[in-house]
Amino acid sequence: MRGTRKRYSAAFKARVALEAAKQTRTLAELSGAFQVHSVQISQWKKQLLDGIESLFRDGHRRDHDEPSVPGRAVRADRPAQDGTRVVEKQLPASTDLKRPLIEPSNPHLSIRRRCELLGLNRSSYFLRAATRSEENLRLMRLPGRTWRSFPTAPSGV
């Protein structure tokens, strides 16, 4: 017989994780006090300790609108925590279209952070695709022309 799954608010999780991080009481005591399994408390504590460095990263204040985990986009098809719908920004798919969106002269965000927000690999921002000369293209097409001219010839000719 299955029961409904408990859902805890972010404020409750933060309070429990902070109490666990203080280490003034054991996990068993916290589990009894908050009516949450000790494994769950350990997971929340680990999330708190892993994510705390993001508060102080780069010396900039984070906006509340950004996703808390880098690389994880907010789902547009699900309501947000506060009940409102989230609209996901549609970004161009091509690297060549994303590259001009990064403004190197903007002092507020690093290039690393701008690339992360656009979903652009940082190396693709700095490195341009190598262009092939007409001579290289001609040489690459040569084996195909030879084969089409003599399809029954042995491959060593």
- Kindly state whether residue 24 falls inside one of the protein's structural domains: yes
27 φ, ψ to 5°?
Answer: -60, -35
Q: How many CB atoms lie within 10 A of CB 44?
A: 22
Alpha-carbon gap, residue 126 to 128, rounded angstroms? 7
10-residue stretch averages of pLDDT, the chain, 157 residues long: 79 89 89 91 88 71 48 49 57 72 80 82 76 84 73 66
Alpha-carbon gap, residue 2 to 149, rounded angstroms? 72
Number of domains in the chain: 2
- Kindly state whether residue 115 falls inside one of the protein's structural domains: yes
123: domain range?
91-129
- Kindly state whether residue 4 falls inside one of the protein's structural domains: no
Alpha-carbon gap, residue 127 to 99, rounded angstroms? 11
- Kindly state whether residue 23 falls inside one of the protein's structural domains: yes
Per-residue pLDDT tens over the stretch 15-33: 999 889 888 888 899 999 9
pLDDT on residue 85 = 57
- Kindly state whether residue 66 falls inside one of the protein's structural domains: no
pTM (2 d.p.): 0.37
- Kindly state whether residue 69 falls inside one of the protein's structural domains: no
